């Protein structure tokens, strides 16, 4: 059986890449709803409907676990998905807790970069309430980064200009930048060149995959160690066979520890 990965587009590939390193013997189905991206500018109801449609599609292909590799879709739908399906559902969560722990004893603040919908959803607000007792967390929507990513534009004058445009003037007050959207790790180089080097940049990808690994083990769902893992890609319900797109996906996912996989 497969592990399903779902995202509004290619952002979840940054999470899948971690999974290929930690769980190299698994078979994966990756569903990018690129035809309907971005999700962050849609209503909660729209995002929930699109997410349920995609998960229904994945469930019909016999998945044993599901990763909602999208912070926006997690916020809108993860609770109801867990009620609707019997397989484990792992969602994304911005790395607010570790960011606050890193900065609570100093004089620096935390900046969370995410989509507008993620930032205003109850799930994220509850996260802030639980861990930001000192009120050191600020929020910054960055919708155009998702649009750049879906065009495979991760670096260059357009990206740099946009980052400089949205970043607060008093950026020096921050000690940590949290990437609260799975599309955003693709822009780490551009971000590092646009903000002071003293600011740590973190995301929740590794934590999500660690949780997936724990759930898979605890439910006796691990594939045998002699299994050769495979990744199958779907774009809004249609299997991706276009070699140009596949090469782009492979370039994002490539890692020497993932060489056992076929694409």
What is the CATH class of 96-203? alpha beta
Cα–Cα distances (Å) from 106 to 110, 115, 139, 163, 172, in that order, read: 11, 27, 19, 26, 13
Whether 70 is catalytic is yes
> For the residues 239-263, what does the mean pLDDT come to?
76
Which among 19, 181, 199, 212 is annotated as catalytic? 181
pLDDT at residue 261 in the model: 57
Annotation says 223 is catalytic: no
Collapsing DSSP to helix, strand or coil, 79 comes out as helix
Average pLDDT, the chain: 93
Domain span(s) for CATH 3.40.50.1860 in the chain = 2-92+206-258, 96-203
CATH class of 2-92+206-258: alpha beta
> Is pLDDT above 80 for 216?
yes
Residue 162 to residue 142: CA distance in whole angstroms = 9
> H or E element: which one contains 6?
strand 2-7
**Among the options 65, 70, 96, 179, which is catalytic?**
70
Q: What is the mean pLDDT of residues 103-112?
A: 88
């Amino acid at each position: 059986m497969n592990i399903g990965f779902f995202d509004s587009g290619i952002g979840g590939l940054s999470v899948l890449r971690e999974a290929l390193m930690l769980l190299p013997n698994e078979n994966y189905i990756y569903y990018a709803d690129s035809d309907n991206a971005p999700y962050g500018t849609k209503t909660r109801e729209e995002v929930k409907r699109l997410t349920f449609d995609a998960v229904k599609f994945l469930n019909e292909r016999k998945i044993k676990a599901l990763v909602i590799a999208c912070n926006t879709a997690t916020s809108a739908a993860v609770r109801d998905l867990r009620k609707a399906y019997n397989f484990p559902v792992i969602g994304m969560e911005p790395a607010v807790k570790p960011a606050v722990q890193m900065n609570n004893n100093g004089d620096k603040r935390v900046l969370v970069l995410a989509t507008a919908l993620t930032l205003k959803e109850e799930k994220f607000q509850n996260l802030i309430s639980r861990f930001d007792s000192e009120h050191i967390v600020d929020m910054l929507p960055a919708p155009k980064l998702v649009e750049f990513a879906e065009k495979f534009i991760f670096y260059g004058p357009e990206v740099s200009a946009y980052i400089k445009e949205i970043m607060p003037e008093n950026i020096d007050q921050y000690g940590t930048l949290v990437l609260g959207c799975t599309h955003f790790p693709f822009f780490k180089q551009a971000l590092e060149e646009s903000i002071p080097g003293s600011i740590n940049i973190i995301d929740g990808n590794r934590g999500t995959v660690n949780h997936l690994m724990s759930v898979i083990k605890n439910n006796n769902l691990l594939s045998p160690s002699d299994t050769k893992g495979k990744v199958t890609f779907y774009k809004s319900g249609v299997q991706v066979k276009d070699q140009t797109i596949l090469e782009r996906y492979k370039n994002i996912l490539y890692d020497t520890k993932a060489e056992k996989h076929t694409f």
